[in-house]
Amino acid sequence: MEIPEIVGAGLIVIGAGLGIGRIGGSAMDAIARQPEAAAKIQTAMIIAAALIEGIGFAALFAK
Amino acid sequence: MRSNFTVLIALAGFLFFTPLAYAQGENHEEIQHEQAHHEDAHHAEVHDEASGEKDIKGVIKETIEHHLADSYEFHITEGVGFPLPVILVDGGLKVFLSSEFHHGGVAAVDGAHYKVNHGKIYKTDAAGTITYDDHHHPTNDKPLDLSITKNVFMILVMAVFMFFLFRGVAKTYQTSLAPKKAGRFLEPIIIYVRDEIAIPNIGEKHYKKYMSYLLTVFFFIWFLNLVGMTPLGVNVTGNIAITFSLALMTFIITQVSGKKDYWMHIFWMPGVPVLIRPVLAIIELIGLFVKPFSLMIRLYANMLAGHVVIMSILGLIFIFSSWVAAVPFSFLTLFLSVLELLVAALQAYIFTMLTSLYFGAAVEEHEHH
């Protein structure tokens, strides 16, 4: 049985979503522990999220 | 306080109604477009041939595609718009206005005939016949196209706008240290780019050289993203050719400013066993090209996805074709439009941020132990 390409794209998007969710959650934890470092954590969070997001989009458009 | 609230309401109203107005305009134009090209085999797919009625989903899909694509004329809404110059290199330079295409879809210039088919100009005979191969690709000749299209036009407008805006702001600093006029709004943003993006990533020593590029890229992307949210219906930053050019500039500047340490870290990574160094060199070399590639895809895909989502939800109103559906979907569109305003700034920030990160890696000087 052949699996359609879109299933693979969906799996990648699920993975990317979980990844970004984890980054966001961890950043929340970190900010709650050290509110004074919020600005630095936020920057690092956005960069990491942006890198994963790129993969998600690549999967969608490669489909 | 009260006036602030009024402004907020007006802004919300503007955001709320503009997508509606422009969906209507686009749709209308599309229907005319449909009628004009009825004989075109490819277009016939969206027609329900049996009943003669239009398949609404097909029309919405075409409307969205039409909105996302570049075009040869600046079309705002029905009857509002203007033609743009078409420049072709085909046995000599041929310049004419895109309104020439209105006469039966075929433009006759100096004895040659041209026709637009799916956003591309092909050379045809006087009747505008387009022949297709087995894969439904036109076999007609395609002249080199250097036209001032809608996107090119918007880039030029934005360049002129930014030139006068920032020149004006820069001039006010000659007479006083406090910002004036537009500078009151722009100064904090410029300082943010300098203090939060450039200095931490590039370093105190080298950042000044790159400030002009970083600021230009930041405001260029941000402004064009915002223009994409207006009823003008332009989608400049959601075009892969434009994000490619931006990423290419970042790539070239990074490589040109690469210092000895930068190349050393790519080809002969210090501090790892010698046997692993060639393997790392291959990975680093691939990374060299993946970085600007991801810059290109990220901006393009984000803006494209934003436009597609908003227009798809507007399309749902037409699919349900009921006032009951119009209310929740309009509010959803309002919500997504506001979200897009955030994304517009965020993508400009991320592009500038990663660009300065790459510049920082290129000029970094490592202390040798």
Asked, for residue B166, whether it belongs to a domain, the answer is: yes
What pLDDT is recorded for position B32?
44
What pLDDT is recorded for position B323?
83
Tokens of B230: 């207006």
CB-closest option in A46, A57, A61 to B350: A46
Instruction: For B353, name the nearest residue in chain A, comparing CA atoms only.
Output: A47
The answer to whether residues B138 and B165 belong to one domain is no
User: A interface mutation test: which of B195, B294, B302, B349 has the most A CBs within 10 A?
Assistant: B294
Q: Containing domain of residue B326, as a range?
A: 152-363
Asked, for residue B13, whether it belongs to a domain, the answer is: no
Asked, for residue B45, whether it belongs to a domain, the answer is: no
Tell me what ipTM this predicted complex has. 0.73
The answer to whether residues B91 and B190 belong to one domain is no
The answer to whether residues B208 and B108 belong to one domain is no
CB-closest option in A47, A53, A54 to B353: A47
Q: Does A62 touch chain B (CB under 8 A)?
A: no
The CATH H-level (homologous superfamily) assignment of domain A5-62 is F1F0 ATP synthase subunit C (1.20.20.10)
The answer to whether residues B91 and B185 belong to one domain is no
The answer to whether residues B109 and B220 belong to one domain is no
Chain A residues whose CB is inside 8 A of the B298 CB are 50, 53-54, 57
The answer to whether residues B118 and B189 belong to one domain is no
Decide which of B109, B129, B147 is a domain's last residue. Answer: B147
What pLDDT is recorded for position B51?
46
Instruction: Return the percentage of chain A with pLDDT > 90, whole number.
Output: 35
CB-closest option in A39, A47, A57 to B301: A57
Count the domains in chain B: 2
How would you classify residue B105: left for phi > 0, otherwise alpha for psi between -120 and 50, otherwise beta?
Answer: left
Pick from B331, B346, B344, B343: which is nearest to B12 by CA?
Answer: B331
Q: How far apart are CA B199 and CA B206, in angstroms?
A: 9
Asked, for residue B16, whether it belongs to a domain, the answer is: no
Residue ranges in chain A whose pLDDT is less than 50? none
Report pLDDT digits (tens) over B68-127. 888 787 777 667 777 888 888 777 777 777 777 776 677 777 777 777 777 777 777 777
Do the beta carbons of residue B142 and residue B123 sit within 8 Å? yes
Q: How far apart are CA B214 and CA B198, in angstroms?
A: 8
The answer to whether residues B165 and B302 belong to one domain is yes
Domain boundaries, chain A: 5-62
The answer to whether residues B117 and B201 belong to one domain is no
The answer to whether residues B139 and B156 belong to one domain is no
Is residue B5 classed exposed, middle or buried when 0-12, 13-18 and 19+ CB atoms within 10 A define those classes?
A: exposed
Asked, for residue B139, whether it belongs to a domain, the answer is: yes
Decide which of B131, B147, B163 is a domain's last residue. Answer: B147
Asked, for residue B110, whether it belongs to a domain, the answer is: yes
Asked, for residue B121, whether it belongs to a domain, the answer is: yes
For the entire predicted model, the pTM comes to 0.78
What pLDDT is recorded for position B36?
45
The answer to whether residues B90 and B188 belong to one domain is no
How many angstroms separate the most distant Cα atoms in chain B?
A: 80
The answer to whether residues B179 and B251 belong to one domain is yes
What pLDDT is recorded for position B35?
44
Asked, for residue B44, whether it belongs to a domain, the answer is: no
Q: How far apart are CA B359 and CA B354, in angstroms?
A: 9
The answer to whether residues B254 and B185 belong to one domain is yes
CA distance A24 to chain B (A): 15
Residue ranges in chain B whose pLDDT is less than 50? 1-2, 16-52
